[in-house]
Amino acid sequence: MNTPSPAGRRTRPLRAALTGAAGALGLTIALLASGTLSVAQDRTDQGARELGEPDYGVCRGVDPRCYHDWGNFDASDGFRVLLYTRTAGPRHANLGPALAPGLNPPLTDANTVQNGVLRMGRDNGFQVDYTEDVSRLSSPAALFRYDAVVFYSTSRDALDDAAQTSLRQYVRGGGGFVGIHNAFGTEYNWPWYEGLLGNANFYDHGPAQPGTVRTVNRKDVSTRSLPASWSFSDEWYNLVPAPTRVRVLAEVDESTLAEGTAGNYRHPGHGDDHPVAWCHYYDGGRAWLTTLGHDARDFSTDGSFPGAAEFQRLVLGGIRSAMGQAPFCK
């Protein structure tokens, strides 16, 4: 069996004080052999380093051979996504009040995320169902009705055993997954899910504050209409571990964060290499991720909140590519 190459693997440079040429040479050889050190990177990262790079026992990375095109989705039926916003811990204000059981229960104006994604679907040719009822994820057959599943600021143990199994089988059958903001604060103790996030997990964040987002890849459908840099306000998640074997699409320029990068649990930030959006293939499926999306004003349409339009274009492209309506992870 051919094993996809780790061409898209994300690596982080190291700084180490070494004594003796023999010690330096030995360490360098060991790091190169393990893939921890990249000879292609020559910049010095001032942020957190050595955050781990576990192997989840699945095909993952940016090689499309990791994708399972097994005929579970038919574009002639149109495109449909399931938005899941269940919280079993902290609840972001932009989710509004908790939803009643079932599929597509009544919404209030305060359910900003749900209303925003519904509008996005109406305006761009795909149907959106939404729920916080874990029983709606109880079988792979239920999930295979959807071209992508979107977790938006879910929290803690938002899935039971049946839903965990269903999500894994859905992804393995070629399903699309989109994880937004506190999807990174979900299912902490499930290694497979951490891998789905790109080998990444939320650790902490500093003050919510304005910053500059750099669009580092402008070939992907989610970023090609974005400027090279744009202003935005968010919580700027610090991650442990930090993503590997992914295609990074956007980063925050930490030098523009006036209140600093250190999180409430003392994470120092990621220095020159602080990703906020990325994509990869994982265990047969497609996964598009962003740590952005904290503020209800992210879904404003009147131009009053800097970066809202760019954020919405970013998320729209991520959803469209994850569900196969547009090319994925270019």
Distance between CA 73 and CA 328 in Å, rounded?
Answer: 15
Cα distances (angstroms) measured from residue 143 to each of 28, 84, 127, 285, 287: 46, 11, 14, 13, 15
Enumerate residue ranges in the chain where pLDDT < 50.
1-44
Q: What is the pLDDT of residue 55?
A: 86
Question: Does 9 fall in a domain?
Answer: no
pLDDT given for residue 253 in this prediction? 98
**194 occurs within a structural domain:** yes
The alpha-helical segments, DSSP class H, found in the chain are 21-34, 112-124, 140-143, 161-172, 191-196, 308-322
Half-sphere exposure of 184 (CA within 13 A, CB side): 30
User: How buried is 42 (Cβ within 10 angstroms: 0-12 exposed, 13-18 middle, 19+ buried)?
Assistant: exposed
Residue 328 lies in a domain: no
> How is residue 177 annotated by DSSP?
E
Q: How many helices (H) and strands (E) does the chain have?
A: 6, 12
The domain total for the chain is 1
Residue 5 forms part of a structural domain: no
**What pLDDT was estimated at residue 45?**
55
Average model confidence (pLDDT) for the chain? 89
User: Does residue 11 fall inside a structural domain?
Assistant: no
HEC letters along 50-68 = CCCCCCCCCCEECCHHHEC
The residue type at 78: G
CA distance 9 to 92: 32
Distance CA 212, CA 53 (A): 27
109-136 tens-digit pLDDT: 999 999 999 999 999 999 999 999 999 9
Whole-angstrom distance between the N-terminal and C-terminal Cα of the chain? 25
Report if residue 315 sits inside a domain.
yes
Question: In this predicted structure, what is the pLDDT of residue 317?
Answer: 98
Give domain status of residue 109, yes or no. yes
Q: Is 10 part of any domain?
A: no
Amino acid 41: pLDDT: 33
Residue 116 structure tokens: 């925003």
Domain coverage including residue 216: 21-322
Compute the residue count for the chain: 330
What angle do helix axes 112-124 and 308-322 make, rounded to 10 degrees? 60
Q: Residue 180 maps to which CATH number?
A: 3.40.50.880
